[in-house]
Amino acid sequence: MVNARSGLPARRYAVAVGAALVLAACGGGDAAPPSTSAPAPSSSPASPSPSATLPLPTPSPTNGIPVGASPFSGLPGGADKPVLVVKIDNTRAAQPHSGLQAADLVYVEEVEWSLTRLAAVFSTTLPDEIGPIRSARISDIDIVAPFGRVAFSNSGAQTKLLPALAAANIIDVSAGVAWDAFYDDPGRPTPVDHMADPTKLLVYAPDAAKARDIGLVFSAEPPPGGQPVDTVSVTWPSSDISFTWDEAAGNYVVGLNGEESRSTEGGPQRAATAVIQSVVQTDSGYGDRDGGKTPLVQTIGKGTALVLRDGRMWSVTWERPDLQSGTRFYLSDGTPMPFAIGQEWIVLMDRSLKPKVR
């Protein structure tokens, strides 16, 4: 077939070839392991918060979420729209990303060999194209749980993970199901050539959960205090991310893997708010066929975080009492940390790492 938007030849993914699509998918189909040794074991898990499920805030002037705005970004027109979460590659070969600028919220999670992947949440705006799309990981189930039964798209998953994904509270719109929404971009190398039409993906999820509050609070004005900072970065052995304040634009330029991020729409990715959330990571029991171990990113519990907005940085705490609850971020006085309105980035960083601030 031919992709109607670009005129590029498209290679459909049929269910019959799902095993191949399961793609070297998640295991060895990913980027080749670096020459360095495998990452060291992570620290022991923290105990989950004993507190009861906290009620989520509803749109009101007090939490800065106006009626009709997205509960993920505060952007107007984002309420009550279906939610699509897409796994996106985050290697240099994946640049430029397509459609990522339209996401309300972007999570950064560590995978095998200290590489990272993106889990992008789309709701307010659907771009024409999203990609390059990559495979699912076990941590994705916990990350997307607070959003409800959303449409979840990826290029496949290792066979061992498929039962867990099937049991999760998601609607599968992966390549093996929504095959006619996927196509390969011949201008990109394999395996970072898998692209998809988000409108077609949602055809397979007519009952996808609508955008609902996940506990974030928004304000056009920052809270008092905060430390002036120019750039904050996190470095893994095989990946890195940075957020650099752009005073003229009033947001942060996102750097990925040693260079300014790029997009097919033009310009870099930008964040209104960036969060460096310190989490516990353990061995998930999953891994790739080359011996890389998949970390389990533990997003339930409590811990510390850095929040960047308006050229300043706040040291905060976070709490997520259970699987269904969203994560709340608190200032030192116990009041909610308000995010700036716009695209939000949340970096899930193993607590053994230390961000660099300058």
- pLDDT score for 24: 38
Q: What is the pTM of this model?
A: 0.86
Boundaries of domain holding 352: 15-27+51-357
CA pair distance 43, 34, nearest whole angstrom: 22
Within a domain: 165: yes
| Predicted pLDDT of residue 63 | 55
How far apart are the two ends of the chain, measured CA to CA in Å? 50
**What count of Cα atoms within 13 Å lies in the side-chain half-sphere of residue 155?**
29
DSSP state of 348: E
Residue 35, in any domain of the structure: no
Query: What is the count of structural domains for the chain?
Result: 1
- The domain that contains 313 carries what CATH number? 3.50.90.10
Cis preceding linkage at 132, omega within 30: yes
34 falls within a domain? no
Q: What is the pLDDT of residue 288?
A: 93
200 class by beta-carbon count within 10 Å (0-12 exposed, 13-18 middle, 19+ buried): middle
Is 204 part of any domain?
A: yes
Does residue 45 form part of some domain? no
Beta pairing, strands 312-320 & 182-184: unpaired
Q: How far apart are CA 295 and CA 272, in angstroms?
A: 28
Secondary structure of residue 313 in the 3-state scheme = strand
User: Does residue 182 fall inside a structural domain?
Assistant: yes
Measure the CA–CA gap between 133 and 136, rounded to whole angstroms.
10
Residue 64's pLDDT is 66
Rounded to the nearest 5 percent, the helix, strand and coil shares of the chain are: 15, 35, 50
Look at strands 151-153 and 84-89 and give their pairing. Answer: parallel
In a domain, 9, yes or no: no
Give DSSP secondary structure letters for 239-291.
Answer: EEEEEEEETTTTEEEEEETTEE--BTTSS--EESEEEEEEEEEEEEEEE-TTS
Q: What is the pLDDT of residue 121?
A: 98
Q: For residue 39, is it within any domain?
A: no
pLDDT of residue 5: 36
Q: How far apart are CA 151 and CA 345, in angstroms?
A: 20
Could you give the CA distance from residue 87 to residue 133 in angstroms, rounded to a whole number?
6
Q: What is the pLDDT along the chain (358 residues), one digit of tens a residue?
A: 434 333 333 443 333 333 333 333 444 344 333 333 333 333 333 333 333 334 444 444 445 677 899 999 999 999 999 999 999 999 999 999 999 999 999 999 999 999 999 999 999 999 999 999 999 999 999 999 999 999 999 999 999 999 999 999 999 999 999 999 999 999 999 999 999 999 999 999 999 999 999 999 999 999 999 999 999 999 999 999 999 999 999 999 999 999 999 999 999 999 999 999 999 999 999 999 999 999 999 999 999 999 999 999 999 999 999 999 999 999 999 999 999 999 999 999 999 999 999 9
